[in-house]
Chains A and B, each alone.
Chain A
Amino acid sequence: MITLNHYLALGGLLFCLGLFGALAKRNAVAVLMGIELMLNAVNINLVAFNHFLEPARVTGQIFAIFVIVVAAAEVAVGLALVLNIYRRRLDSNVDDLDWLRW
């Protein structure tokens, strides 16, 4: 029997994998991939809460759709930023993008 806690554990594991990817990667595009994994983990949790706790309404699915919308906007703007920085510095390594450093 699969319970809500199984889905929450899966979402937590996926979130932590995405967090590791976003923190530990050197390529800016790979950092964006990690952020997408984290947003997907959140969506799994929202839909699982909807299914197990409040099945008569679709509020969790509505929120998941809003998360997808924001994620699409975020990845479009983020990749445009990466492309613009790459064109100026010929580099997409986040360790070298340090000209705002103190």
Chain B
Amino acid sequence: MSALFFWLLAAIIIASALAVVLLKNIVHSALYLVLTFAGVAGLYILLNAEFLAAVQLLVYAGAVAILIVFAVMLTRRGDIRASNLFNVNYLAAAVVSLALFIVIILATGRMAWTANPGHAPAGNVGAIADAFLGPFAIPFEIAAVLLLVAMVGAILLARGGKQDQ
């Protein structure tokens, strides 16, 4: 049963990621990007990471996708139907990506993973909260500082300096 869901979600993720890369209209690409993020959230539920699935839907399918749609609307000029074309070195990019994929498959195929036995903690959110407020407390605070700095920097950049106005 979970194998069926895995193949279904994998087909959705790969097909919509291909649509993101190959479609010519960047608005369609952004919409398929949302579908890819939702498929990855389903994969997290299969992997017993329900909290992460919720975060994925909120942050990626919600905030990041909306930001990208905003950027598309604020920067577009000219014909929207041909707004997401390939540049001159797409053949080299295809060769590099394909070679990297083959290397990844060969490397993971010959690796013997040794699993530590153990049961997943019952309350996923509780375990994550314990980790964030215990051993990962300092990275947690630093992540908050990073988000604040990025937000202030993004506002300053998007608003422009005084001499621009």
Contact in complex: B104, A27 (CB < 8 Å): no
CB pair A62 B128 closer than 8 Å: yes
Residues of A within 8 A of B75 (CB): 28-29, 82-83, 86, 92
Count residues of A near B (Cβ-Cβ below 8 Å): 75
* A92–B72 CA distance with the chains assembled, in angstroms: 10
Q: Which residues of A contact B71 (CB under 8 A)?
A: 29, 32, 79, 82-83
| Interface pair A21/B127, CB less than 8 Å apart | no
* Chain B residues, Cβ within 8 Å of A50: 47, 49
Other-chain contact of A23, B33, B72, B96, B124 (Cβ < 8 Å): B96
- Total A-B pairs in contact (CB under 8 Å)? 237
Whether the pair A19, B119 counts as a contact (CB closer than 8 A) is no
Dominant SS among interface residues on chain B? helix
Interface contact B17-A4, CB-CB below 8 Å: no
Q: Cβ of A94: which chain B residues have Cβ within 8 Å of it?
A: 87
Contacting residues, chain A, for B30 (C-beta < 8 A):
33
The answer on a CB contact under 8 Å between A16 and B101 is: yes
Given the interface contacts A12-B101, A33-B20, A80-B158, does A56 sit within 8 Å of B26 by beta carbon?
A: no
Please, how many angstroms separate the alpha-carbon atoms of A44 and B47 in the complex?
9
- In the complex, chain B residues 61-86 whose Cβ is within 8 Å of any chain A Cβ: 63-64, 67-68, 70-72, 74-75, 77, 83-86
Interface residue ranges, A against B (CB under 8 Å): 1-2, 4-10, 12-21, 23-30, 32-34, 36-37, 40, 43-44, 47-48, 50-59, 61-62, 64-66, 68-77, 79-84, 86-87, 90-92, 94-95
Ranked 4 nearest A-B pairs via Cβ? A56-B118, A73-B150, A23-B93, A12-B104
